[in-house]
Structure 1
Amino acid sequence: MARFKYKGRNRQGIVTGKINANSRREAMEKVNYEGVRIIDIEEIPESFLTKDISLGGSVKLHHIVVFLRQFSTLLKAGVTVVEAIRILSAQTDSKMLSKVLKQVEGELREGQPLSDAFGKHPKIFDSLFINLVKAGEISGTLDETLERLGEHYEKQHRTRQKVISALSYPLVVGCIALGVVTFLLIAVVPTFVSMFDGVGGELPGITKFVLNVSNFAKDFWYIIFLFIILFILGILALNKNKKTKYYMDLIVLKIPVIGMIMQKAIIARMTRTLSSMLASSVPILQALSLVEKVVGNNVMADVIRNSRVSLEEGKSLAGPIEQHWAFPPLVSQMIVIGEESGSLDEMLAKVADFYEHEVDAATDRMKALLEPLMIVVLAGLVGIIVTAIVIPMFEIFDNIQNY
């Protein structure tokens, strides 16, 4: 947002002042609204002291959902688009979203379409958002489109949170187990080494093994740490490369249990997105091209691309989907029914509902199975270390008593 200084005249005489606005035109409108007739107005050059400071450009999906629902409600109540944006920019809890909406308001007052104004902020509003808003503008059903878009993001957010929660649980417990085991190996086990050395005698095999692991962890901890860092950086590098990204996505889908959950979540996202776009009158080829970019998995993106090519050649959309192992028969069968009945958006929405429920059930089952399993693994690791320490101690006590 820019800052302007102005000189004008009101009933009291000549006045001067400063005002914040997204554009010169908006600044003039604000000054005129205050009852000042402008004589001169100019933008103040931006300096370090006047520049807006922003920590990151992300907006939580929750804030976007609330914004869309409120925007739709205001439009249905007869509020103009510009006025609705102005109201919501002051009402939202997100400072970043508020700042962006003020810029959108200024662009709307300069005569730009709403979709173009949103399109200037791709870090906040994705391509799906912009395309659906544009479709709503063209069809004259912007309020309904915004409401549908809000429902889409809300369901997508709920499914994503379920998957993240399910995958983060074993990761957190695993980190805790690693921390406990590391502490025992580095801080506890070495204190018993001198005791065992002083007594002499042959140590049990399990004790020798734990002592060797403890010595390695204590002497070469930096190598272990470096290996973990390099491993993470290697995974990130492979994931950024287009060729290796395909195989990384393939491996994810093949992982037992986790791959099944990811597969269902991706199908739910794909069918929900395609259903929302078709219901908003977006051409199906354009919708498929967009879904291919947002599906988030290159293996399934290739299938969608093949389906789009199949449709361009006059064949069925369901053909390539039916032939691929990543898509269960239900998906292709529902698409066939939708194509034949002319209700493809409704059939896709039903598929999305089904797989969203499947993700919920699968994540709950996974948590129920993993909780006791992780406890057993953690108890087993700690038990091995404790056993390796306790057995020689019993032998020491026996020697002392015999002596």
Structure 2
Amino acid sequence: MPKFKYVGRDKSGKRDGSVISSSRREAFIKLKEEGIRVLQMDEVPESIFTKDIAIGNPVKLHDFVVFLRQFSTLIRAGVPVVEATNVLAHQTESKALQRSLLDVEEDLRQGNALSTATAKYPKIFSNMFVNMMKAGEASGAIDDTLDRLATQYEKQHETKQKIISALTYPLVLGVIAIAVIIFLLVGVVPTFVAMFSDFGAQLPLITRFVLGSSEWMQAYWWLFISLIVLFIVGIFALRKQKQSKYYLDFFLLRMPIFGKLLQKASIARLTRTLSSLLSSSVPILQAIAIVEKIAENEVIARVLQESRDSLERGESLTTPMKNHWAFPPLVTQMISIGESTGSLDAMLDKIAEFYEKEVDNATDRLKSLIEPIMIVLLATIVGTIVTAILVPMFDIFNHIQA
């Protein structure tokens, strides 16, 4: 969105500043409404140094949740949607959100609905947001819809952070272990090679193994690093292809210990999202299609697609879920009860709460379990290398004493 610098006058006298607007004319109108008579206005050229570069979602989740909460409060207080959008556009700390809200404000002033205006910015306002806003506009409960969206994003963020926290600890320890091993094999072990070669006697098997590993690491360290980089790049490449992502997600869900944690997190995410959509009066087929698109696990997404097809055939939502290992019996039974009693949104909300607590407990148990395992593993590896050096040194010492 263009930025304009201006020089003008208001009641207090001469002043200058800048304004972001879709056009020069709109910028003049905005400043006039603020009581500023524009004397001069120039557009600020956008360069690679001034342009914001965003990777992934350009708006932080915290900024977006704050925006939703404030928007809901303003609407509930009787502030018109257009004015509320303008106020929040100038209050938010996110430049990307500010630019999009200013554009949304222009669309609203032209008579467009909020859902229509926000749909033009899919990187900021998700498909779920747009569809829930449509339902909120139809029911006249935009403030409740915004509150529900804020709660949804907060719960989603909390669950994701717990998973990241649980997986970060073993990853960091693993990296440290690899760095220590490389340092010992490349920096420490070679200093003893000459001493052992002068000894002349047969070295113990463990020492020969460590010396061989040291020689290989010194000669092919570049290959070792290349393999790690290729592995990481390969994982990212596989996740971009739908079919390969399915098999990768299948493997992750089947992993010992970590698989159950990821499964619980996926179920909590999909049930929470589906409950929010249904509570906002989004049609169930449309709601499932939205959840299917935003599901981070391809295995779960395919089951949801089958569930949607099942509903279109007039069958139960849970029919495909009952036949798939990724959905525990508790989930399918509670959804079946929700279908039969007409309280599917409330039942999904209970499932989400249950599995969010399960994720909390599982991450705590995982941290307490992994910490001693990783410490013992690191101590064993370092101890093996140290032992491989010390054993022949004792033999050399005994030989000299004799």
How does the TM-score come out when normalised to structure 1?
0.92
Q: Distance in 1 between matches of 2:8 and 2:73?
A: 38
8 Å CA contact retained: 2:20, 2:99: no
1:56 corresponds to 2:58:
no
User: What residue is the counterpart of 1:187 in the other structure?
Assistant: 187
Counterpart amino acid of 2:311?
L
Q: Distance in 2 between matches of 1:66 and 1:9?
A: 34
8 Å CA contact retained: 1:3, 1:18: no
User: What residue is the counterpart of 1:373 in the other structure?
Assistant: 373
1:20 corresponds to 2:45:
no
Q: Distance in 1 between matches of 2:186 and 2:9?
A: 78
Counterpart amino acid of 1:55?
I
* CA deviation vs aligned residue, 1:261-315 (integer Å, no higher than 9, x gap): 1111000111011000000000000001111111111111111111111111111
Shift of 1:52: 4.4
Match of 1:20, SS state, is strand
Q: 1:9 to 1:368 in 2, by over 3 A?
A: closer
Q: Distance in 1 between matches of 2:383 and 2:146?
A: 57
Counterpart amino acid of 1:140?
G
Q: Distance in 2 between matches of 1:262 and 1:244?
A: 18
Shift of 1:10: 9.3
User: What residue is the counterpart of 2:144 in the other structure?
Assistant: 144
User: What residue is the counterpart of 1:133 in the other structure?
Assistant: 133
Shift of 1:351: 0.3
Match of 2:19, SS state, is strand
Counterpart amino acid of 1:224?
F
Counterpart amino acid of 1:53?
K
Q: Distance in 1 between matches of 2:313 and 2:73?
A: 42
Q: Distance in 1 between matches of 2:373 and 2:389?
A: 25
CA RMSD of aligned residues (A): 2.6
Q: 1:193 to 1:16 in 2, by over 3 A?
A: closer
* CA deviation vs aligned residue, 1:297-346 (integer Å, no higher than 9, x gap): 11111111111111111111111111211100111111111111111000
Q: Distance in 1 between matches of 2:17 and 2:353?
A: 53
Q: 1:5 to 1:384 in 2, by over 3 A?
A: closer
The 5-angstrom pairing of residues 1-400 of structure 1 reads: 1-3=1-3, 20-24=19-23, 26-35=26-35, 44=43, 46=45, 48=47, 52-56=50-54, 58-400=58-400
| Identical-pair percentage | 55
Match of 1:128, SS state, is helix
**How many residues are aligned here?**
399
Q: 1:204 to 1:80 in 2, by over 3 A?
A: same
Match of 1:79, SS state, is coil
Shift of 1:129: 1.4
Counterpart amino acid of 2:339?
E
Q: 1:91 to 1:300 in 2, by over 3 A?
A: same
Instruction: List runs of 5+ in structure 2 lacking aligned partners.
Output: none
Shift of 1:18: 8.0
Instruction: List runs of 5+ in structure 1 lacking aligned partners.
Output: none
Q: 1:45 to 1:161 in 2, by over 3 A?
A: closer
Q: Distance in 1 between matches of 2:368 and 2:144?
A: 40
Q: 1:372 to 1:45 in 2, by over 3 A?
A: closer
Between stretches 97-106 and 141-150, larger displacement belongs to 97-106
Q: Distance in 2 between matches of 1:284 and 1:91?
A: 36
Q: 1:247 to 1:34 in 2, by over 3 A?
A: closer
8 Å CA contact retained: 1:238, 1:245: yes
Shift of 1:199: 1.8
